Structure 1
Amino acid sequence: VELLRISNITTLMEFVLLGFSDIPNLHWTLFGIFLVIYLTILMCNSIIILVTRIDSALQTPMYFFLGNLSFLEICYVTVTMPRMLMDLLTQKGNISFFACAAQMFFFLTFGSSECLLLTVMAYDRYMAICDPLHYPLIMNHKICIQLVAGSWISGIPVQIGQTFQIFSLSFCGSNLIDHFFCDIPPILKLACGDTSVSEMLVYIVAMLIVTIPFLLILISYSKIISTVLQLPSATSRAKAFSTCSSHLIVVALFFGSAIITYLRPKHSHSAGIDKVLSLFYTIVTPMFNPMIYSLRNKDVIMALRRLLFSQNICTIKTQTLHI
């Protein structure tokens, strides 16, 4: 009996992430694809951070929030992608109990921060379009910093509690996680006994962190659209819609996949669907965010051109001095 108890404890100290083990012939192909995607995410988001920090034309609340979103995206993908790449490279998915808990905590915390930051960005657009006279007064630098800090910090105590509650469950059966990172649905599948309380708490947290911010964004944009349609100039309407459309696309991608993952009924969960949905909000959205914002935003494109132009001038001057 004592040996069995020790064996069970040993099993609890480690999980195995199955990842994409069901398609072993594509391991190297997936490794190459995901490595390129990860490097693209790092590079593109770093460029957005750089131009929003150094270009004088982008020193506005909207681009301050965009720079913070890009930094958040880098943190967000770094929680899951390096580990996934390592598992694909070594074809081993062993992860300790505490490393799995830490990965879940940081993933959920950064995900919560992104939900709140996207809501703040919607509020910024609402104030800029619906109340432009008071916009500079309300969205001053101090308020912007407080809103960003609130987005980063607010989810931490909630996710500490949720992660602790989930990993306090008993895991007495299989330790195989049919996923590429430690997410809530596949972890709950491994728990023994009744998990109804944990599932209810997951729904409550998802409602607070995902659904309510999403509804606030929808309310903001319903008022924005109503205001824009009343603008007399077609040019003004087009400009207003162009500044909002990029944000709406990102919101649809991120919130859509997250809501389906965490709020759909338990019986409809399947490992394959969960992996595909997770790829959307862990990889696809962070990859497309900087592209959506840069390709659809003339100010960012001009800032990138100025950055490249200044670099070219510096290179020419350096070469001239050497000559």
Structure 2
Amino acid sequence: MPPIPTNLTIVTEFILMGCSTNKNICIFHLVLFFFIYFCALMDNILIIMTTTLDQNLHTPMYFFVKNLYFGDLCLISVTIPKSIANSFSHSNSISLTGCVAQVFMLVFSATTELHLLTAMCFDHYAAICHPLHYEIIMKKDMCVQLTAISWLGGSLIALMHTVGTFSLSYCGSNIIHQFFFFFCDIPQLLAISCSENLMKEIVPILISVVLDICCFIYIIISFVNIFSTVKKIPSTEGQSKAYCTCLPHLVVVLFLFTDIFAYLKPTSRIPSISDLLISIFYTMGPPTSNPIIYSLRNNAMKMSLQRTVLG
């Protein structure tokens, strides 16, 4: 690679290219994203309030769920409001500071969610495989410690990625090809960097991938043990209840693991449709699906929500 010219202007903002110049498409994008964000915002806030106010829901599972929904709020609020604002104002720029904040909060929220899902998997394992010792295993101190580790781990990984990404030089093109003015994505930032050595960010990506795979392996091993135990339950109703509780958990994990494929694929200045869909999948999937998977299918939660809404 030739040496970087010294007369290039240092990038102070990025251009998020993606939305068509067609006015109807941009209006459709504005309405669709606003609807998705409003529904996700209301659902997650309402469930957080319910699990906080209802004493019957002060259990380890709902303690983790409440933290998971707070992570959902962070995850979806990092990208969609800016995307809506850009579409509404017909602007497609984002400042360097705004891009840094997006990268940090996006990685922080997604990583914390994965750690919380791993903690919830441990809770499921303790409840089903060791029911007699469940209260001893999942004491309040244990729940608080697992949650604190999840948030702290997410912040450290996010800091590592943010420092690694923005310690690179961006002195050439500042155009990030994304879908619907969406967000600053690390693979696309790497694609437009003019640094000769990308190891400052490639190393954090590899570290994150290894940690994510470790979480995934732990989740799979836990669920193998869980399903082995469930098969021994004599009651068909009991088996069905256990499967309905655990299987959706794997669906949410798959949402977040799509970012591994996004980061491991070779970077390209112009992403493919699959790259763009993956970005939407792991940023918008969990916040919109978690309320349905973990709460709205649960009778205790539905009754508590009715009491909260109706007073």
TM-score, structure 2 length as denominator? 0.90
Which residue in the other structure is 2:61 paired with? 62
CA 1:7–1:25 in 2, change beyond 3 Å: closer, same or farther?
farther
Secondary structure class of the residue paired with 1:8: coil
Q: Deviations over 1:15-65 (max 9, x none)?
A: 111142466540011101100110101100111112211223212100111
**Following TM superposition, by how much is the alpha carbon of 1:210 offset from its aligned partner in structure 2, in angstroms?**
2.3
**How far apart in 2 are the matches of 1:268 and 1:16?**
13
Matched letter for residue 34 of structure 1: F
**How far apart in 2 are the matches of 1:261 and 1:173?**
23
Q: Which has the larger radius of gyration?
A: 1
**Following TM superposition, by how much is the alpha carbon of 1:190 offset from its aligned partner in structure 2, in angstroms?**
0.5
**Following TM superposition, by how much is the alpha carbon of 1:82 offset from its aligned partner in structure 2, in angstroms?**
0.9
- Flag structure 2 segments of 5+ consecutive residues without an equivalent: none
**How far apart in 2 are the matches of 1:189 and 1:201?**
16
**Following TM superposition, by how much is the alpha carbon of 1:182 offset from its aligned partner in structure 2, in angstroms?**
0.9
2:170–2:192 CA contact under 8 A, matched in 1: yes
**Following TM superposition, by how much is the alpha carbon of 1:266 offset from its aligned partner in structure 2, in angstroms?**
4.2
Segment of structure 1 superposing worse, 106-115 or 208-217: 208-217
Matched letter for residue 232 of structure 2: Q
Secondary structure class of the residue paired with 1:16: strand
2:128–2:230 CA contact under 8 A, matched in 1: yes
Matches within 5 A, 1:257-276: 257-266=258-267, 270-276=271-277
**Following TM superposition, by how much is the alpha carbon of 1:13 offset from its aligned partner in structure 2, in angstroms?**
1.2
Segment of structure 1 superposing worse, 36-45 or 262-271: 262-271
**Following TM superposition, by how much is the alpha carbon of 1:302 offset from its aligned partner in structure 2, in angstroms?**
2.2
1:39 maps onto 2:38 in alignment: yes
- Flag structure 1 segments of 5+ consecutive residues without an equivalent: 312-323
1:171 maps onto 2:173 in alignment: no
* Greater helix proportion: 1
**How far apart in 2 are the matches of 1:162 and 1:199?**
6
1:242–1:296 CA contact under 8 A, matched in 2: no
Secondary structure class of the residue paired with 1:134: helix
- Report runs of 4+ in structure 1 exceeding 4 Å deviation: 4-7, 265-269
Which residue in the other structure is 1:81 paired with? 80
Secondary structure class of the residue paired with 2:132: coil
Which residue in the other structure is 1:320 paired with? none
Which residue in the other structure is 1:279 paired with? 280
Matched letter for residue 233 of structure 1: S
1:171–1:192 CA contact under 8 A, matched in 2: yes
Which residue in the other structure is 2:129 paired with? 130
Which residue in the other structure is 2:9 paired with? 8
1:243–1:297 CA contact under 8 A, matched in 2: no
1:243 maps onto 2:274 in alignment: no
Which residue in the other structure is 1:155 paired with? 154
Q: Percent identity?
A: 39
**How far apart in 2 are the matches of 1:73 and 1:91?**
27
CA 1:210–1:217 in 2, change beyond 3 Å: closer, same or farther?
same
1:124–1:139 CA contact under 8 A, matched in 2: yes
Segment of structure 1 superposing worse, 70-79 or 17-26: 17-26
How large is the RMSD of aligned CA atoms in angstroms? 2.2
TM-score, structure 1 length as denominator? 0.87
Question: Between Structure 1 and Structure 2, how many residues are aligned?
Answer: 304
**Following TM superposition, by how much is the alpha carbon of 1:258 offset from its aligned partner in structure 2, in angstroms?**
1.9
